Amino acid sequence: MWFKGCFHIHTTNSEGELEPVEACNWYKNNKYNFIALTDHNIITKLNGKYFKNFLIIENSVEFSNFGTDLHILGIGLNKDKLSISCDYQSTINFILKKNGLAIIAHPNWNWAGKFSRLTQFENYHGIEIFNSFIRHEKCGSSFATEKWDYLLSLGNKIWGFAVDDMHVPAKNLIGQGWIMVKANNLEKEEIMNSIRQGDFYSTTGVIIEDICLDKNKYLIESLNGEEIIFIADYGRVIKVIDDSKGVLEINDYDKYKYIRCEIRSGEGIAYTQPVFFQ
């Protein structure tokens, strides 16, 4: 089953305009299955039991105490007591120790995520490749796929996340970036484990119906895509298909470190997670 979720959401506890319950209600009412409230350097407490058939991944936070615009999301920590550090790698290590997901937030916010800086981090789960709020602030690019491809090409096995970074519930700022997770059920550990394994895709509007890698064939089927782009090392485009579905035949696995796919249309872009060959 596919479950729709968003990880980067602020409330009145840190620069957001919605109360925690209001934020949860908006996402639930708009057919999301799960979210994580990630206020700055504080865990927002909310009893998810009040929301039926809607998962709130508790003990989540945005670590932003580094003196720059490059922050780190810690999702689903197993304890609510934070260890605040001014060091990026120490923060990542803390998140991992608490069995959480470590995600580098908005690497293009004021261009704080310089390529050289990003190469210094280890063992995190992924980076935000789309961040809606940057458009509102006009402080960089919402898209960071060029940095994702660079890091993947250096051998980093990391995932790409699309998020709202919701502060303002304006029409063009909320519900703009999300992930679709393939899991057996809507339980925290099931969702978290699927993400750890890369069983999800990110999107700004295109819906994928099927992703299949069978021997030497990479199959993509989408509901509303118009163009499929297969991308390999250093962002090199290796095939383009003008259709909502298509197949890439892979004859030489050792030729690539990874292959990922973008499905585009007037409704947005969907990003599959990379398939690694080395």
Parse the chain into domains and list their residue ranges. Answer: 2-203, 208-276
Summarize pLDDT for 214-247 with one digit per residue, the tens.
Answer: 878 999 999 999 999 999 999 999 999 999 999 9
Average pLDDT over residues 265-273: 98
pLDDT score for 213: 86
Summarize pLDDT for 15-34 with one digit per residue, the tens.
Answer: 899 999 999 999 999 999 99
Q: Give the angle 218-229-260 at the CA atoms, nearest 5°.
A: 55
DSSP code of residue 72? E
pLDDT beyond 90 at 208: yes
Summarize pLDDT for 55-72 with one digit per residue, the tens.
Answer: 999 999 999 999 889 999
CATH topology agreement for domains 2-203 and 208-276: no
Average pLDDT over residues 179-193: 97
Average pLDDT over residues 247-265: 91
Average pLDDT over residues 72-96: 93
pLDDT score for 47: 65
Average pLDDT over residues 155-166: 97
Tokens of residue 115, six digits:
């390529």
pLDDT score for 46: 83
pLDDT beyond 60 at 48: no
Average pLDDT over residues 43-50: 76
Give the total residue count for the chain: 278
pLDDT beyond 70 at 49: no
Query: pLDDT grade, residue 171 (50/70/90)?
Result: confident
Average pLDDT over residues 150-167: 97
What is d(CA 278, CA 276) in angstroms, rounded to the nearest whole number? 6
Average per-residue pLDDT for the chain? 94
Burial of 211 from C-beta contacts in 10 A (0-12 / 13-18 / 19+): buried
What is d(CA 157, CA 276) in angstroms, rounded to the nearest whole number? 8
More confident residue, 255 or 49: 255
Summarize pLDDT for 90-142 with one digit per residue, the tens.
Answer: 999 999 999 999 999 999 999 999 999 999 999 999 999 999 999 888 899 99
More confident residue, 85 or 175: 175
pLDDT beyond 80 at 200: yes
Q: Give the CATH architecture of domain 2-203.
A: Alpha-Beta Barrel (3.20)
Beta strands in the chain (DSSP E): 2-9, 34-37, 55-56, 61-63, 71-75, 101-105, 126-131, 159-163, 178-182, 200-203, 208-214, 217-222, 227-232, 236-241, 245-249, 258-265, 268-272, 275-276
What does CATH list as the number for 208-276? 2.60.40
